[in-house]
């Protein structure tokens, strides 16, 4: 699991991975930690973060090269928010400031007819950047404002946050005060919607993560 902030939590990924017998380790390239060899892992998750994928950080360029090699090797990859934008650049697409402002809170994601598994529903979102997928990618889902999911080879890229928990939402709202103020976001409404969603079990997030793990788990030795 590649993270981009110190206070990063696996959230629901932890729960779903544990239920299926997988363990995971966290790698922080922005701290100089080495990304693992592809022979050391069964799958890779690239998480979100406050950076922009197009920022001039050497560790993001190294991550681009790594994610490209993950897909080339056919290793299952789940790329979330910033991770999805880094992946898009890695495979020849782009990442750029979004054209429709900050998309924050619980959003409705509509599935494309061609999507091979259930990806529609409610999810937590927080981003103001967007991406253009690489040539040949399959667009899977969108919201009324932004592209939300696409796939390419062994990779699934999502703009929203299926890993998020209520504790993660609270941390994000605490950390992103200036951005929330700049975009005139209704923070109490976001918090109330999130409480409703997570108190009800965050079923759409759990379903999506479950499908992703189940897609490569059968027949593989589990660690």
Q: Where are the domains of the chain?
A: 12-216
Helices 12-19 and 203-216, interaxial angle, to 10°? 50
Quick one: pLDDT at residue 222?
Answer: 43
Residue 200 binned pLDDT confidence (cut-offs 50, 70, 90): very high
Taking CA atoms, 114 is separated from 65, 136, 140, 167, in Å, by: 29, 14, 7, 34
Alpha carbon distance 1, 130 (integer Å): 22
Residue 221 — very low, low, confident or very high, per pLDDT cuts 50/70/90?
very low
pLDDT over 90, % of the chain: 88
pLDDT tens, position by position, 95-110:
999 999 999 999 999 9
The yes or no reply on domain 12-216 and CATH 3.40.50.880 is yes
Q: What is the pLDDT of residues 73-101, one digit of tens each?
A: 999 999 999 999 999 999 999 999 999 99
How many Å apart are CA 173 and CA 79, to the nearest integer?
22
The answer to whether 185 and 104 are in contact (CB under 8 A) is yes
Contact at 8 Å (CB) between 150 and 118?
no
Q: Is the pLDDT of residue 219 over 60?
A: no
Pairing label, strands 77-80, 44-46: parallel
């Amino acid at each position: 699991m590649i993270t981009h902030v110190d206070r990063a939590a696996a959230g629901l990924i932890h729960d779903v991975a544990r239920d299926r017998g997988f363990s995971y380790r966290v790698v922080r390239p922005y701290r100089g930690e080495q990304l693992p060899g592809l022979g050391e892992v069964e799958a890779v998750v690239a998480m979100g973060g406050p950076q922009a994928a197009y920022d001039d950080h050497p560790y993001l360029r190294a991550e681009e090269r790594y994610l490209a090699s993950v897909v080339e090797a056919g290793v299952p990859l789940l790329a979330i928010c910033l991770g999805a934008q880094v992946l898009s650049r890695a495979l020849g697409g782009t990442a750029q400031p979004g054209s429709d402002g900050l998309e924050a809170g619980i959003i409705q994601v509509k599935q494309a007819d061609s999507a091979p598994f259930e990806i529609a529903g409610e999810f937590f979102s927080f981003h103001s950047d967007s991406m253009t997928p690489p040539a040949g990618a399959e667009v899977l889902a969108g919201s009324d404002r932004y592209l939300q999911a696409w796939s390419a080879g062994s990779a699934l890229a999502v703009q929203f946050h299926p890993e998020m928990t209520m504790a993660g939402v609270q941390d994000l709202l605490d950390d992103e005060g200036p951005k929330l103020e700049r975009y005139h976001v209704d923070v109490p409404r976001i918090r109330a919607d999130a409480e409703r969603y997570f108190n009800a079990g965050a079923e759409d997030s759990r379903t999506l993560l479950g499908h992703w793990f189940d897609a490569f788990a059968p027949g593989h030795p589990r660690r």
